[in-house]
Amino acid sequence: MKILYLSHVLPYPPTDGMRSTCYQILRHMSKFHDITLLCLAEKEEMKFFSEISKECAHVVGVPHRAPRSFFKRLKNVLFEKDPFCVLQFYSLEYEKRLEELLEREKFDVVHILSINISNYAQTLKGIPTLFFPHDSVSLQFYRNLPYEKNLLRRFYMGSQWKKMLRYEKKILPQFTHTVLVSQRDKDWIAQHSPKAEISIIPAGVDCDYFKPEENGPEDAVPSVLFRGVMNFPPNRDAVLYFYYHILPLIKKEIPKVRFYVVGKEPPPEILRLNDSVTTFVEGLVPDLRPYIAKSSVNICPMLSGSGIKNKILEAWAMGKAVVATSKACEGVAALHEKNILIADAPETFAQSVIQLLRNSDLRREIGKNGRELVSQQYSWESSIAKFKDLYNEIAPLRAD
């Protein structure tokens, strides 16, 4: 088939969940179909065009810097109907290039890789469309609200939740089919958009890239790792929650424990935690694997958010023990005391981490079971096969 992918980012390098998922879809699908990627890209990303071009027959990049200013957000709150995270990625040049591609080529399917780029639906009339927002963004905003202490940000988040809920209701029926990564997200979307055709395809993990490092021993000092995009509110809140409410309980029993925070664009409140003694805020790193490998325990103390947590899948793939909240485990086949330790209260979370730090045999057993699970249920080959089936199902619906 000839498939057109629409993205609001250049999906390379695959340094976060969104880019990694999009990159893996393109990489695997290019083995079976003729792939064209139309993406927005910031100036500093242009150097990676040659890399993503290896995975696509054609790549069309449109330079664009998404506005992030306070005044742009305020204007959105006061005067605009659609959510800011959609409008900030609108580009007249992108729309023009999309129209040119549709005039020049006959695509069997258009695959929209996130909600940020979904406002071009009207341009795609007559072409079967697969919409892949990953998870429900309105559910993310709804869950984030109770944990936002800053009154201004809380007001903004509340307005975005309402706008996104209206937007999801409006946009989903315009696509032929929608794919989400977890049942919880599907239930939320179906409640508000009952006519939308929705399937669940879990995110995958590259088990050949993320694999146990036999010759990479853990730090001599007990350590825990949190990794994720740090300007994403659920990740920011998880780090602050762990640092202020859980880490002190761990330090009472294991004073020398180290806490590593790895991920791009840490905000000031996260940067302030760095003391280079107990807490190390590393920011963006070129390769996550050494950090996952050297940590004793990987943590995922999520209080909000939705979808599947790549940070859990990748830690499992590397055979690492994970402690997570029940909210973080939605969408994955997590079994307490089998392949993960699940804890919601600060005291039980701390005791779970302490238990793993003190028991290397239990760490290895939990990690081994996690590796087996992702190998069996979360391989990219399995996810790609399900996407291929959907392409075959919706492609004949093209209105020529």
- Say what the pLDDT of residue 192 is: 86
**Model pTM score:** 0.90
Q: Which residues, 6 or more positions from 207, have their beta carbon under 8 angstroms from its beta carbon?
A: 317, 371, 374, 375, 379
Task: Map out the domains of the chain as residue ranges.
Answer: 2-204+379-397, 223-377
| Domain 2-204+379-397 is found in CATH 3.40.50.2000 | yes
Buried b (16+ CB within 10 A) or exposed e, 76-114: beeeeebbbbbbbbbbeebeeebeebbeeeebbbbbbbb
Give the architecture (CATH level 2) of 223-377. Answer: 3-Layer(aba) Sandwich (3.40)
Is residue 353 within 8 Å of 246, Cβ to Cβ?
A: yes
- Say what the pLDDT of residue 215 is: 61
- Say what the pLDDT of residue 75 is: 94
Profile the chain (400 residues) by mean pLDDT over runs of 10 residues: 96 86 94 96 87 92 89 93 95 96 95 95 92 94 89 93 95 94 92 90 91 72 95 94 98 97 95 96 92 96 90 96 95 94 98 97 96 93 94 90
Q: How far is CA 327 from CA 127, 307, 308, 320, in A?
A: 37, 10, 10, 20
